[in-house]
Amino acid sequence: MQIERLDHVNLRTAQLETMIDWYTQMLGLEVGPRPDFGFPGAWLCAGDTVVVHLVGVEGDPGIGSEAALKMEHFAFTARGAPAFEARLLDRGERFRKSAIADTGMVAFNIWDPDGNHIHVDFPDAH
């Protein structure tokens, strides 16, 4: 057995519609078909690949990476760093941009409405 790639990230949220809007508007993901699991949720796709599963839960919104036992971040590889940075600035999103020495990569650190930390990495953005 050999792991080939990360399949998807599963996030629980008390603000399902807000999260769907953010991931589609900020990252350009699209809502894809999802089986009826008997609870609310959404599957978000990059092209034909489902990359984020959202699960709707009851509770206080905004519980994210500040809570105990949360992941530190997950990451996407992308193209078009200038357009992405312009989108972040245009929408007033908080972000941190960093160049990774010796790799030619630029990473944008962003946070979704629940506070989950996401990297959007651009391999040839220098």
Name the residue range of residue 33's domain: 6-57
| Per-residue buried b or exposed e for 65-76, using 16+ beta carbons within 10 Å of the residue's own CB | eeeeeeeeeeeb
In a domain, 114, yes or no: yes
In a domain, 67, yes or no: no
One digit per residue, pLDDT tens: the chain, 126 residues? Answer: 555 677 899 998 999 999 999 999 999 999 999 998 999 999 999 999 999 999 998 877 655 545 544 567 899 999 999 999 999 999 999 999 998 777 788 999 999 998 888 989 898 765
In a domain, 1, yes or no: no
Domain total in the chain: 2
Say yes or no: 82 and 110 in one domain.
Answer: yes
79: which residues sit within 8 A by CB, 6+ positions away? 122
Say yes or no: 82 and 44 in one domain.
Answer: no
In a domain, 63, yes or no: no
Q: What's the rounded Cα separation, in Å, for the pair 95 and 89?
A: 9
**For helices 16-27 and 81-91, what crossing angle results, to 10°?**
140
pTM, whole model, 2 decimals? 0.81
Say yes or no: 85 and 36 in one domain.
Answer: no
Count the neighbouring beta carbons within 10 Å of the beta carbon of residue 82: 9
In a domain, 104, yes or no: yes
Say yes or no: 11 and 48 in one domain.
Answer: yes
Say yes or no: 125 and 79 in one domain.
Answer: yes
